[in-house]
Structure 1
Amino acid sequence: MNFAARITRRWALAALASLTLVSSSAFAAEIRVVTSGAFTEAYKKLVPIYEQASGHKVISAYGASIGNAPDSIPSRFARGEQFDLVILSEGGLEALAGQGKIVPGSRVDLARSQIGAAVRKGTPKPDISTVEALKQTLLNAKSVAYSASASGTYLSTELFPKLGVQERLQVTGRKILSERVGAVVARGDAELGFQQVSELIYFQELDFVGTLPQEVQQTIFFSAGLVAGSGQQEAARHLAAFLASPAVADIVRATGLDPAGAGAKR
């Protein structure tokens, strides 16, 4: 661990110690969490820090914010999997809340995420810097992979039709289920891939192309919510407060996300 990382870790530990939501339980809790892909890298860096300082144990599961893939968060809830805290896109969280699965008023925004594109390392980087350039790149690409979750839903139902490339993408496009788009592009199964920036930048086999032009960009909040009926709501609330703390913002930012701020609610 380099010097900057050690300082950031100490800061995060200090932030955890200063939180006022410390569990009053005399014993360590087990907190069951399910998180979607965009926040996964930040989550994996922060959870060990949290466990070390709090004494709680975090049991993790992963899945897409929306969709019917077997490991998606909606599918996990539908078959009765039990969690204390869920982290996913704002649309996915609102859907669960509408089903009565989230404690009302418990939403805590953790980060904002944007959609980016990547190609296999060493291959030409296409131009997506303007809306017109993005359109031409999509028309020219031999194969395009996109997520089955929030970003891919936006692309396939809103952006592709808006750009007039939907007919072409019906031939060249591929919706990726239960896998990161970056993995598909990295092994050469797609020429170009689109997903949340935080899910693309960790693939060493990829070259990051850039984000969508601002005129057609979709910025999504990824948020935590307490699961209704959970037996560890106090501990889960404490974990959510830590993940939203300003002291961990640099860790979150380094994973390609824009921190939402301490406990920011919308």
Structure 2
Amino acid sequence: MKAISSMATRHVLADLAAVAVDAGLPLVEVESVGGVDAAERVAAGEQFDLVFLASGALGKLADSGHVDAATVVPLMLSQVAVAVASGSSEPAARPDGAAFDDAAGLREALRAAKRIGYSTGPSGTALVRMIEAWGMTEEIGDRLVQARPGIPVARSLADGDVDLGFQQLSELVGQPGVRILGVMPPDCAIDTVFGGAVATASSDKDRAAEVLAFFASAEAAPIKTAQAFGAP
């Protein structure tokens, strides 16, 4: 069984797929690429059984008939975190709380940064829009560095290409060369709900729906928590 997802959920989906097999469900081979690329491939009619993307992207695919709207289900909540380079090969640990007390503290960090890394997909778009809303585009716009599709911001930090990075928390935890300061403060948090759906091109819609139901079940919740995701 074939599935496609954005990069942000690749690790947790791999773990969920393995446990699903232990539960007697079909093996799902998940291909993880940039979220925009994934949505375009599904919309182009490429054959997949399951699609895992941000809720907004899934909604558009449902509206255009490329996934079954009746099967769309939220699976996990992902928070955007703030990180810097650590200069260490130790894997980054999950932070206890927010990176800054409030949005004002985050704005000061943005002003102080020489190069600011951010991801593709909905979280990166939301960050750019937030900076625009704060009236800071002219001030720091030339320091914003968008990661190439499929390349995590953590790598840009570790390689020294940027000195302040914004990425889904699940993409930063466990990565070497970075130190996670925390998630974005509550008054400017960027949260993304990722969901799943059965693709209309699926060759076995019933079994695909069974796998999706397992991924959304209470049994799967601890796996998501272990990968730094919350309940949607």
Work out the CA distance in 1 between the residues paired with 2:105 and 2:135: 13
Structure 1 residues not aligned, in runs of 5+: 1-30, 67-71, 261-266
Q: Which structure 2 residues correspond to residues 62-211 of structure 1 after superposition, within 5 A? A: 62-66=32-36, 72-122=37-87, 128-156=100-128, 158-178=129-149, 179-211=151-183
- Secondary structure at the aligned position of 2:70 is classed as coil
> 1:174, CA displacement in angstroms?
0.8
Question: Would you say how many aligned residue pairs link Structure 1 and Structure 2?
Answer: 221
Work out the CA distance in 1 between the residues paired with 2:177 and 2:130: 27
Percent identity reads: 29
Q: Corresponding residue for 2:230?
A: 258
CA separation of 1:134 and 1:254: change in aligned 2, threshold 3 A: same
Work out the CA distance in 2 between the residues paired with 1:129 and 1:205: 25
- Secondary structure at the aligned position of 2:224 is classed as helix
- Secondary structure at the aligned position of 1:105 is classed as helix
- Secondary structure at the aligned position of 1:252 is classed as helix
> 1:245, CA displacement in angstroms?
1.2
TM-score, normalised to structure 2's length?
0.89
Q: Corresponding residue for 1:227?
A: 199
Indicate if the aligned counterparts of 1:36 and 1:73 stay in contact, CA closer than 8 A: yes
Computing the radius of gyration from Cα coordinates, the structure with the larger value is 1
Q: For the aligned residues, what is the CA RMSD?
A: 1.7
> 1:259, CA displacement in angstroms?
2.6
Indicate if the aligned counterparts of 1:35 and 1:61 stay in contact, CA closer than 8 A: yes
Q: List structure 1 runs of 4+ shifted beyond 4 angstroms.
A: none
Alignment deviations for residues 82-121 of structure 1 (CA, whole Å, 9 cap, x no partner): 1110011011111211221111211111111111111111
Indicate if the aligned counterparts of 1:128 and 1:137 stay in contact, CA closer than 8 A: no
Structure 2 residues not aligned, in runs of 5+: 89-98
Work out the CA distance in 1 between the residues paired with 2:26 and 2:65: 27
- Secondary structure at the aligned position of 2:133 is classed as helix
> 1:55, CA displacement in angstroms?
5.3
Indicate if the aligned counterparts of 2:100 and 2:185 stay in contact, CA closer than 8 A: yes
TM-score, normalised to structure 1's length?
0.78
